[in-house]
A and B are shown apart, each in its own frame.
Chain A
């Protein structure tokens, strides 16, 4: 029953997030495009782009391998599980890189200048992704130790599941926001 509950929530969560960003784009997209302030966007350096790409690829692999069977009412196993486990360390290292490289850019200053590099929403999403990534790491690591008996293992698994759902939803929002941001021409 718990598996069915999570399956239902996963479908609702992801579909709801897609729906929300679609509606936001339709409602506010035109207005934004018409009156967007010119944003000074600093281009990502080479290393930034590499870390971002690797992390995004690992994130996508983890999300697909985890939720493909879940959305179908199954549990992850076999080759999907192995791919998920293999992508995990890559995501961990990539997330550290992102956190180190982007933390300062995503700092909430006392005054966000109109020409601030990243909109507040993107900063929030960044920190949510990092925090949830940390939760996912810790739940996995702790489950590999002998600190928890079966009730604790079930708790860690539940936290891991729901944190994964939230991070996927945040990832959808991040992709949307990254696509909406405009760059200054020239």
Chain B
């Protein structure tokens, strides 16, 4: 072999060896490179991305017809949609999902039928499964979808074809998770469009309508069962009235990529579903109320309520880290941030002050308060009054939607704050915490000890003429509450409609009502009439507005303190006379006599302090005087002993 051929061979061998080392074949290593979908940088990634429809076809603004973009196909291209769909906001119907701590339920309201029924897919005691009252996923989405971010019963748990004859999923499309409802920061993004399009059954179009990138016109609700959104409409009515998307072409670049303005969720987006609005006599107007002190300090909701790709948002209550098996969120509780730990005491440790949280001194506050009370008891919600106030919430009262449906007297009636004894999930210790509370009202059948709700629609079907608004009444006003007579007659009609079923009853205002032999209603106590409550944590008040601040022990320890002696009215959507009122101490298993006796002692507390310090001073003076005398005696003894020695 000549030298040149030898060199060439050597070079070739070297090149082969270099290539093999640089790029090992996957079959040889047995590993596949992991796709890194999210940049590690804290800088906001500018989402100028292609849009795809539900069939993963690329969308251009000039397409005719233009289909709505699918978040599953578009966002899911980089962010694992399946993992995200297991998050708290989307997983309620999943039987495998953990139920979590009970929270605000969905509330089926019918003023005409006298119903305010708490519902939940999660097995929270005191709530009812939607399907138990005839709410299929389709009906549930149409009724409550305005404040759901998609997924759940609108998509993954929509049921099988044929389960619900009224469902029109092939016409409306599925309600995918709308990432932009929370993560969109576009000023043109309008969550109101979400609710409006769901009302029109434009489920597949709702994310596009809300995004700010497009407008949606038309209504799937008006379309026939044969309507196919993926095909050219073959009827003039469908062509004119069917849903259509009008993309803003200025939001697309020359590569047909659309721009999504995306960042950490803004508080205003959280507020769309999580606003609480006090109503009733003496309630402050919106401009008179302050926001949560954390927001006022510059934090965002998402600074405390965080999650990873799994979207299992940390809710911020103690014990959550252990429940979920995620130690990282242990310090995202009140105690965790402000004290550095989650122990039942108020002593700060190393690690306190996360996110700049001030470390509280709690001067003069006996330690027993940290064992008996949650942090929210003193710091959260409105300051308690002699009577619990009423509150309306986004999800229960559709606060974001203007209209006659929402007056101060709108159902459901929710009371706040109500100080209730609850179990701390961390250690099972019982503590008092502020709650919101509603008293269920519904028609049901009593079978033994159990009450099974009757779907309100069924009640209206058989008793609509009884429950109709009286002729001549101004129907533009709020429908009056149902009367005792109407209740009695409706119970009679329900009994006649199905004699073999259990006795029909009406639950309202903390009581269960049955027909009496003399034409009157008989009221009795029953577990089904017990109120349903859920903990409240916002709005957090500044420290100076906390209960007991500045040594004001009598905020709670006085004979008329609202914390123990405030009243909660068992309001309901029926005119049954003066509502039953319950005192706060009844929700805390407290002895009112002991509470009064303890409060009485605080009348003498200032005098006691003076007497105590003076007494201690006198005794200390005696100790000092005789101590010196004892010292003198000792010195004399030492001198004597020394002299004798």
Contacts and interface: CB of A to CB of B under 8 A. Distances in A.
Interface of A: 75, 77-79, 81-82, 85-86, 89, 92-93, 95-96, 99-100, 103, 106-110, 127, 130-131, 133-134, 137-138, 140-141, 143-151, 153-154, 157
Given A82-B594, A103-B626, A75 B619 contact: no
A145 B364 contact: yes
Contact of B367 (A78, A79, A81, A150): A150
The 3 A-B residue pairs with the shortest CB-CB distance in the complex, in nearest-first order: A149-B361, A146-B364, A150-B346
A78 B591 contact: yes
B286 interface: no
Nearest to A151: B347
16 contacts: A82-B598, A92-B612, A92-B615, A93-B615, A95-B619, A110-B637, A134-B623, A138-B616, A145-B364, A147-B363, A147-B364, A149-B361, A150-B361, A150-B370, A153-B367, A154-B367
A107 B367 CA distance: 40
A143 B615 contact: no
A145 B347 CA distance: 18
A123 B47 CA distance: 86
Nearest to B550: A146
Interface stretch (B79-87, B176-184, B207-215, B628-636): B628-636
A85 B591 CA distance: 18
Contact of A127 (B615, B623, B633, B634): B623
A110 B626 contact: no
Contacts of A96: 615, 618-619
A108 B601 contact: no
Residue from the set B360, B362, B615, B623 with the largest chain A CB neighbour count within 10 Å: B615
B25 to A, nearest CB: 59
A183 B616 CA distance: 34
A134 B365 contact: no
B605 interface: yes
Contacts of B364: 143-148, 153
Given A82-B597, A150-B347, A151-B347, A157 B367 contact: yes
B363 A99 contact: no
A176 B489 CA distance: 80
Contacts of A154: 345, 347, 367
B597 A137 contact: no
A157 B371 CA distance: 14
B626 A107 contact: yes
A150 B362 contact: yes
Interface in B578-599: 591, 594, 597-598
A96 B617 CA distance: 10
B609 A141 contact: yes
Contacts of A107: 626, 629-630
B626 A127 contact: yes
A154 B609 CA distance: 19
Contact of B636 (A77, A110, A127, A148): A110
Nearest to A145: B364
Given A148-B364, A154-B345, A137 B637 contact: no
B592 to A, nearest CB: 13
Contacts of A75: 368, 371
Nearest to B598: A82
Interface string B206-237: 00000000000000000000000000000000
B364 to A, nearest CB: 4
A108 B613 contact: no
A106 B629 CA distance: 11
Contacts of B345: 150, 154
A112 to B, nearest CB: 10
Contacts of B636: 110
B546 to A, nearest CB: 14
A144 B605 contact: yes
Contacts of A144: 364, 605, 608-609
A149 B363 contact: yes
B76 interface: no
A103 B619 CA distance: 10
Given A81-B598, A96-B619, 20 more contacts: A75-B368, A78-B594, A82-B594, A82-B601, A89-B611, A95-B615, A99-B622, A100-B622, A110-B640, A127-B623, A134-B623, A137-B612, A137-B615, A141-B609, A141-B612, A145-B609, A146-B550, A150-B347, A153-B362, A154-B345
B20 to A, nearest CB: 61
Given A78-B594, A96-B615, A110-B636, A130 B366 contact: no
Contacts of B551: 146
Contacts of A146: 363-364, 550-551
Nearest to B629: A107
Given A109-B633, A110-B637, A79 B594 contact: yes
Contacts of B618: 96, 99-100
Nearest to B630: A108
A105 to B, nearest CB: 11
A134 B626 contact: no
A143 B619 CA distance: 19
A143 B363 contact: no
B620 interface: yes
A127 B630 CA distance: 11
A110 B347 contact: no
B450 to A, nearest CB: 36
B140 to A, nearest CB: 46
Nearest to B637: A110
B187 to A, nearest CB: 45
Contacts of A127: 623, 626
A145 B605 CA distance: 11
Contacts of B634: 108
A131 B370 CA distance: 31
B615 A85 contact: no
Contacts of B633: 108-110
A5 B291 CA distance: 45
A79 B613 CA distance: 25
Contacts of B597: 82
Nearest to A104: B626
Nearest to B635: A110
B619 A133 contact: yes
A41 B361 CA distance: 54
Given A108-B630, A145-B364, A130 B619 contact: yes
A77 B550 CA distance: 24
A103 B622 CA distance: 8
A14 B514 CA distance: 61
A151 B347 CA distance: 6
B585 to A, nearest CB: 13
Contacts of B360: 150
Residue from the set B360, B616, B636 with the largest chain A CB neighbour count within 10 Å: B616
B499 to A, nearest CB: 52
B605 to A, nearest CB: 7
Contacts of B620: 134
Contacts of A131: 623
B604 to A, nearest CB: 9
A154 B371 CA distance: 13
A147 to B, nearest CB: 7
Nearest to B622: A99
A4 to B, nearest CB: 14
B366 A143 contact: yes
